[in-house]
Amino acid sequence: MQQDADITVTATNGSDRRRSNPAGRSGHGDAGDPLLQVRNLEVRFGDGDPVLHQVSFDLQRGERVAIVGQSGSGKSTTIGAILRLLPGNGRISGGSILLGGKDLATASDGEMRGIRGKKIGLVPQDPMSNLNPSMKVGAQIADALAANGMRNRSAIRKRAVELLTEAGIPDAGRRYGQYPHEFSGGMRQRVLIAIALAGSPDLLIADEPTSALDVTVQRQILNHLQTLVDAHGTSLLFITHDLGLAADRTDRIIVMAEGRIVEVGTPRQILLDPQEEYTRRLVAAAPSAVAALDTDPGRVLEPAAVTATAGPEDILVVRNLVKEFALRGQRGGTVKAVNDVSFAVQRGTTTAVVGESGSGKTTVARIILGLEQATGGEALIDGRSITGSNGAQRRMLRRKVQPVFQDPYGSLDPTYSIERLIDEPLRIFKVGNRASRQQRVAQLLDAVALPRTVAQRRPNELSGGQRQRVAIARALALEPELLICDEAVSALDVLVQDQILELLADLQQRLGLTYLFITHDLAVVRQIATNVVVMKSGSVVEAGSVDKVFLAPDADYTKELLGAIPGAAFAR
């Protein structure tokens, strides 16, 4: 079966990944001696019901396997169990985890200390918080080496520099003495990879290693990780929520949901011929897969018709917008976060602003919302600027444009009830009386498909998707014409993300809303937008209809972005 998988993948996707040396894999591939054997694993927290049910899988030497699932599916719990680092009062209540014949489920804590680092390396999720900010980067790698039994200091240093170089950090000798804050996110993730590989482990566990990084950086890091893993013959267990990413990077995909393994198969089987209902839904919802698979031009042309009927009137005009921020500590020094940005949004359409972190897309949104003052140029809503007007006119403009923020956990005041959250704008604008406001809240809850009973609940009783619905309901309370969605679906699981996008599309059709969709996710753009503005380092690189930009991009940067969409290999 493993052999099959290899052959299929080779045959269908022979580009990038085959370049790396598969010797390690074919040598041990189906030797019948899996490196890791998880059998009927069951995990409980305290005395509660199990959160993992009968999880069983094998991992061959040199094999790359992905565990894909949404938050709460048990993928992190699974690796927590393998590393015996379950949080809180979690414990393994059944089954076995055999690593090279040794059962980790029953190993003592002392034995586990010898296994972590030496046999199993971990690349954690967040490169920002997983390095000690007050410790030199080199010293942190040296620490890992010393923990693995190296004693000679100069040898440790030499090896650490070697590891840094191997992880793709240029000028590693000088970088050795720098602190984490002097490294970018991608560089920090490379350092973490170097630390994970310090003990030459047989198994490398990567827990969402790039979900905090931009797509182009993500691609570099993963390419590099893959090369390293193949060169060392290390097995890789790759945890991700992104089906496209898993398909690109691994030989086999394990789909998990609610603590159970739903389906196991090669990327091709899972993406193109899913057997289980849940997998099918996951594949359908995965924006990267959809965007990649959907090459039918008819579908994307459809929204253009809506534009035509809505009329050519521009609701939002951004003209030569410039925003400079003063640099701290440098007198008179400024950085241009937004540099001469111009675009227009037609009423009733969806325009996406795409860019990586630092591209200035959020600053543009904040200026349009009147939260920042532009240094130059203007952002006009129906011909007027929020920051340029005051009193009644500003209030009127603010009613026309409302935001939906990225993090539904941060955008709702946790001390408020849902009803109070949704009617807050009504109270601020003194719309109606108590009874009419209550009625309006009920209407809005209906509009975003939430039961009316949630009105008396508080945000922390709701799931992420439900909260985002509340945030949308609140944004709609004043009957705005323009919604600024700043990464509004990025924090959500794919299935939920899909539902929210559907809701937004539905609301647009019913209420004639206009969306300005700020996102880093090109796949989402393809799904929802009519027009797209690509930004890089504060400037517009390319703008135009989604069809044009996606099918015939002009700018090199756009091409690079499009190439970095995971799962694209399964488009053709």
Partner 1 sequence: MAITEIRPAGLGSARGRIWKSLHGSPLGLAGGAMLVVVVLVAVLAPLIAPYSPSEVHFATPFQKPGTVGFLLGTDDLGRDIFSRMVYGVRASLEVGALCVLLSVVIGTPLGLLAGYWRWLDAAVSRLTDVTLAFPFLIIAVGLAAISGPSLANAAIALGIAHIPTMIRVVRGETLRIKESDFVLGAQTMDASGLRIIFTHVLPNAASAIIVQATVIMPVAVIGEALLSFLGLGIQPPTPSLGIMLSDAQQYIFRSPTAAIFPGIGIALICLAFNLFGDALRDAFDPTSSSRK
- Of these, 87, 110, 170, 332, which contacts partner 1 (CB under 8 A)? 87
- 301's CB contacts (< 8 A; 6+ apart) are 547
325 part of the interface to partner 1, by CB under 8 A: no
Minimal distance, residue 70 CB to partner 1, in Å:
10
Q: Which is nearer to partner 1, 291 or 488 (CB)?
A: 488
Determine the distance from the C-alpha atom of residue 303 to the mean position of all C-alpha atoms in its chain, rounded to a whole number: 26
384 part of the interface to partner 1, by CB under 8 A: no
Q: How far apart are CA 187 and CA 217, in angstroms?
A: 9
Q: Which of 88, 101, 110, 133 binds partner 1 (CB under 8 A)?
A: 88
End-to-end CA distance of the chain: 25
Residues 39-58 touching partner 1, rule: CB under 8 A, are 45, 48, 51
Q: Contact between 369 and partner 1 (CB under 8 A)?
A: yes
Q: How far apart are CA 440 and CA 422, in angstroms?
A: 9
Separation in Å, CA 511 to CA 63, 190, 350, 485: 51, 47, 13, 16
Tell me the per-residue interface mask from 418 to 447 with partner 1, x by CB under 8 A, - otherwise.
------xx--xx------------------
Neighbours of 329 (CB within 10 A): 6
- The window from 84-92, 173-181, 193-201, 271-279 that contacts partner 1 (CB under 8 A) reads 84-92
Residue 122, phi then psi, degrees to nearest 5: -125, 130
Q: How far is the CB of 390 from partner 1 (least distance, A)?
A: 11
Q: Which two tokens stand for residue 311?
A: 């009329």
By the rule CB under 8 A, 343 interacts with partner 1: no
Contact 346, 536 (CB under 8 A): no
Binding mask 477-506 for partner 1 (x = CB under 8 A): -x----------------------------
Question: Which listed range, 57-65, 177-185, 286-294, 363-371, lies at the site for partner 1 (CB under 8 A)?
Answer: 363-371
Q: Which of 67, 206, 186, 213 shows the shortest CA–CA distance to 123?
A: 206
Contact (Cβ atoms closer than 8 angstroms) between residue 24 and residue 202: no
Region near partner 1 per CB under 8 A, out of 197-205, 326-334, 407-415, 536-544:
407-415
Whether residue 242 contacts residue 54, with contact meaning beta carbons closer than 8 Å, is answered with: no
Site of tokens 């809850």: 445
- Of the candidates 280, 249, 281, the one whose C-alpha atom is nearest the C-alpha of residue 266 is 249
CA-based nearest residue to 422, from 487, 488, 478, 505: 478
Q: Does 77 bind partner 1 (CB under 8 A)?
A: yes
Work out whether 136 is an interface residue with partner 1 (CB under 8 A): no
Should residue 383 be labelled a site residue for partner 1 when binding is judged by CB under 8 A?
no
* C-alpha closest to that of 502 among 479, 533, 469: 469
Q: How far is the CB of 466 from partner 1 (least distance, A)?
A: 12
Q: Which range, of 186-194, 267-275, 403-411, 546-554, touches partner 1 by CB under 8 A?
A: 403-411
Calpha distance 381→486 (Å, rounded): 17
CB of 243 to partner 1, least distance (A): 20
**What is the DSSP pairing of strand 482-486 with strand 90-99?**
unpaired
User: By rule CB under 8 A, what count of residues binds partner 1?
Assistant: 39
Interface residue with partner 1, options 324, 458, 554, 560 (CB under 8 A): 458
The distance of closest approach from Cβ of residue 520 to partner 1 in the complex, given in angstroms and rounded to an integer, is 17
Query: Applying CB under 8 A, which residues contact partner 1?
Result: 45, 48, 51, 71-72, 77, 87-88, 90, 369-371, 394-395, 398, 401-403, 405-407, 409-415, 424-425, 428-429, 457-458, 460-461, 471, 474, 478
